[in-house]
Chain A
Amino acid sequence: MTIALEATESRRRRWPTITAWDLCRWALAISVTIVVVFPIWWMINVVFTEPGTPVSINPRLYPTSFAAGWDKVAMILRETGYLHAYYMSMAYALLTIAGVLLLGSMAAFEFALFEFPGKRPLFGLIMLSLMVPTAVTIIPTYLLTADLGWINTMQGLVAPGLASAFGLFLLVEFMKGLPKEMIEAARLDGARHFQIYWHVVLPLTRNAMVTLAILTFMKTWGNFIWPLIVLSNAEKYTVSQVVGLFNAPFSHQTVDVVMTANLLAAIPPLLFFLIFQRKIVEGIAMSGSKG
């Protein structure tokens, strides 16, 4: 009843509502864009400004000195081993991605598509671990890593992050949706177990794998606490650690230099996003709708 009543009314006012709505959504979309982009834009402006200019004179709404910004970038690259930190962070991220994808997809293949004794309790146990805050395990994990003699090594940095319960969850959910008949057909064609995984299921899981790779990249790039305690040798510092030196309260640096260090840390993920923008967004969208 009420629906019908309102409907006749809204039909009468169709034209004006639509244009108002149009105005509204454009205004809204543009305001949100400003809120989202401005902080990042502002950070760039802080870097590309002559140091020491009071905000009252120059509110940092646009960059004013390319040379000043470049000097800061050059100074940081020269004095802090930032380039090596880039290399360390990249290696950390790429190795973690490779490991998470391989181990996760192998296990997900079994958990999603086959039945075997002990499967359910094992999977349940792994899923339960999603609810344990990382901080609980960090000390024992650290002690174990130290016992293995892996402090200050790449394997110490990477190995503890490889068995990703979240990654497994994502891949299992995705693989559950794969048609079982294809696997049966492959088996009838005489494919071995591993061959089915490698030649049939993996190619079909590509989208989920890309998503997982992206999420893993973002997580490892921003990971702060684990590199901090595992890598104590300054020559092995990751980007987040080098930035941490600048963010330390007693460092001599002024805002603009601190922001330069931060900006440099943001460049790889931002570039990564600009290049793979579409894939990233679609991948994440898929991860949610599968859950």
Chain B
Amino acid sequence: MNSRHLPHYLMVLPFVALFAAFFLYPIVSGFYYSFHDWNAVTEPHFVGLANYERIVGSRDFSRAMWNLVTYVVITVPLGIAVAFGLALLVDSFSGFWSNLFRSVFFLPVVLPAFLAATIWRWMYAPNFGLVNMVLGWFGYPSVNFLNDTDTMLYSLIAVDIWVSAGFNMVILLAGLKNIPVDLYEAARLDGASRLQQVRHVTIPMLAPVLFFVMTYGLISALQVFDVPWLLTGSSFTNYGGRQNALLFPVMDMMGRAFGSVRFGQASAYGFILTALIIVVTAGMFGLRAMRRKA
């Protein structure tokens, strides 16, 4: 290091210092605790890999992972498809209407997550909840959205898309606007229909934006916590809903930490999940690299 570089380090220092204190240090100590039996008060007691083994061997873990995989596989593509559809829809209007619909569709994003979940908990209520009331008008029987193990996951996905579609839509919309009009012109001259234009012009041109939306969506979906927690009325001692149909890893981790006071296990859980996220993200980048070469 020489003095030429000093100004650079000085500018980075405040960020890096806080990052080290409130991120690196906690992660490193979390890693240390993940090999210990620790209730946050008494001395940590070294247990080797026991925490990891215990988690992976537990039935809650398999349940949570299974739920997570199903949830991610459905919610990420479906969410993006909906957002993409909305973006196309907004894009098909112009001027005032385009702006109005864009803003309206974005509205749920502004609400705090705890609020969205609380509203939907009531919307879904059996019998007098609004959704069931509407179903009733059309002669359908009341569905117990948040308590029937067959529907719970889909109820969550619906809320999730309601909450996040606007966010992705806005990003995709900007991507759409960046596509040069001449490309559509050219396609039209080649005689491409509206659908074909989407397929052959829009999607390829939008690939980088789609990649961002997908990666970001995956990382957040893998960490899903507050919406299912609130929808199932979970507490640290009782979470996951009926037959654990809405149990997700972060929920299980929080329960082990604050419900069972097993902070070592909770830390280990966090690292298993982190590894999973890193693998999935690396996979995404790998796929992109392969597509580019191909």
Using a CB–CB cutoff of 8 Å, the interface residues on chain A facing chain B are 3-4, 6-8, 10-11, 21, 25, 28-29, 32-33, 35-40, 42-43, 46, 54-56, 59-60, 102-104, 106-107, 109-111, 114, 116-117, 119, 122, 125-126, 128-141, 143-144, 159-163, 165, 168, 193-194, 197, 218, 221-222, 224, 240, 243-244, 247, 249, 255, 258-259, 262, 265-266, 269-270, 272-273, 277-278, 280-282, 284-289, 291
Chain A contacts of B5 at CB under 8 A?
Answer: 116-117
Residue contact A129 to B209, C-beta cutoff 8 Å: no
Chain B contacts of A288 at CB under 8 A?
Answer: 168, 170-172, 174-175, 209, 212-213
How many interface contacts (CB-CB < 8 Å) are there between A and B? 265
Chain B contacts of A39 at CB under 8 A?
Answer: 116, 119-120, 123, 130, 162
Residue contact A144 to B22, C-beta cutoff 8 Å: yes
Instruction: State whether A141 and B26 are in contact (beta carbons under 8 Å apart), knowing that A107-B12, A135-B250, A135-B254 are contacts in the complex.
Output: yes
Chain A contacts of B273 at CB under 8 A?
Answer: 133, 136
Using a CB–CB cutoff of 8 Å, the interface residues on chain B facing chain A are 1, 5, 7-9, 11-12, 14-16, 18-19, 21-27, 29-30, 33, 40, 86, 89-90, 92-93, 97, 99, 101-116, 118-120, 122-123, 128, 130, 133, 162, 166-168, 170-175, 178, 190-194, 196, 209, 212-213, 216, 219, 223, 225-226, 230, 233, 235, 250, 253-254, 257, 263, 266-267, 270-271, 273-274, 277-278, 281
Chain A contacts of B119 at CB under 8 A?
Answer: 39-40, 42-43, 262
Output the least CB separation between A57 and chain B (Å). 11
Top-3 shortest CB links A-B: A7-B191, A288-B171, A136-B270
Residue of B nearest to A108 (CB): B15
Instruction: State whether A103 and B15 are in contact (beta carbons under 8 Å apart), knowing that A4-B191, A132-B27, A222-B114 are contacts in the complex.
Output: yes
State A104–B162 Cα separation when bound (angstroms): 31
Residue of B nearest to A7 (CB): B191
Name which of B22, B99, B110, B166 has the most chain A CB atoms within 10 A of its CB.
B110
Residue contact A141 to B122, C-beta cutoff 8 Å: no
Output the least CB separation between B134 and chain A (Å). 10
Instruction: State whether A37 and B278 are in contact (beta carbons under 8 Å apart), knowing that A143-B40, A262-B118 are contacts in the complex.
Output: no
Instruction: State whether A137 and B27 are in contact (beta carbons under 8 Å apart), knowing that A36-B104, A265-B115 are contacts in the complex.
Output: yes
Output the least CB separation between A260 and chain B (Å). 12
Chain A contacts of B209 at CB under 8 A?
Answer: 288-289, 291
Residue contact B21 to A144, C-beta cutoff 8 Å: yes
Output the least CB separation between B41 and chain A (Å). 11
Output the least CB separation between A23 and chain B (Å). 12
Chain A contacts of B12 at CB under 8 A?
Answer: 106-107, 110-111, 122
Instruction: State whether A140 and B25 are in contact (beta carbons under 8 Å apart), knowing that A7-B191, A42-B119 are contacts in the complex.
Output: yes
State A59–B134 Cα separation when bound (angstroms): 10
Output the least CB separation between A290 and chain B (Å). 8
Residue of B nearest to A134 (CB): B223
State A59–B107 Cα separation when bound (angstroms): 24
Point out the residue from B104, B192, B257 that lies within 8 Å of A37, measured CB to CB: B104
Chain B contacts of A140 at CB under 8 A?
Answer: 25-27, 29-30, 33
Chain A interface, DSSP helix/strand/loop, else mixed: helix
Further 17 A-B residue pairs, CB within 8 A, beyond A29-B89, A136-B274, A255-B122: A4-B191, A6-B193, A39-B119, A103-B14, A106-B14, A110-B12, A128-B278, A133-B250, A136-B30, A138-B26, A139-B267, A161-B22, A162-B22, A163-B22, A165-B23, A273-B110, A288-B212
State A26–B25 Cα separation when bound (angstroms): 54
Instruction: State whether A270 and B104 are in contact (beta carbons under 8 Å apart), knowing that A25-B89, A133-B250, A224-B226 are contacts in the complex.
Output: no
State A273–B33 Cα separation when bound (angstroms): 42
Point out the residue from A136, A165, A168, A193 that lies within 8 Å of B11, measured CB to CB: A193
State A33–B100 Cα separation when bound (angstroms): 10
Residue of A nearest to B112 (CB): A222
Residue contact B111 to A266, C-beta cutoff 8 Å: yes
Residue contact A36 to B162, C-beta cutoff 8 Å: yes
Output the least CB separation between A149 and chain B (Å). 15
Residue contact B270 to A107, C-beta cutoff 8 Å: no
Point out the residue from B99, B104, B178 that lies within 8 Å of A33, measured CB to CB: B104
Residue contact A122 to B16, C-beta cutoff 8 Å: yes
Residue contact B171 to A287, C-beta cutoff 8 Å: yes
Q: What are 8 A-B contacts defined by CB distance under 8 Å?
A: A4-B191, A6-B193, A56-B128, A140-B26, A221-B112, A222-B111, A224-B112, A281-B103
Instruction: State whether A32 and B15 are in contact (beta carbons under 8 Å apart), knowing that A131-B281, A193-B7, A289-B175 are contacts in the complex.
Output: no
Residue of A nearest to B213 (CB): A288
Residue of A nearest to B173 (CB): A285
State A143–B32 Cα separation when bound (angstroms): 14
State A138–B33 Cα separation when bound (angstroms): 13
Residue contact A163 to B15, C-beta cutoff 8 Å: yes
Residue contact B171 to A144, C-beta cutoff 8 Å: no
State A111–B277 Cα separation when bound (angstroms): 25
Chain A contacts of B22 at CB under 8 A?
Answer: 137, 141, 144, 159-163
State A10–B192 Cα separation when bound (angstroms): 9
Residue contact A110 to B191, C-beta cutoff 8 Å: no
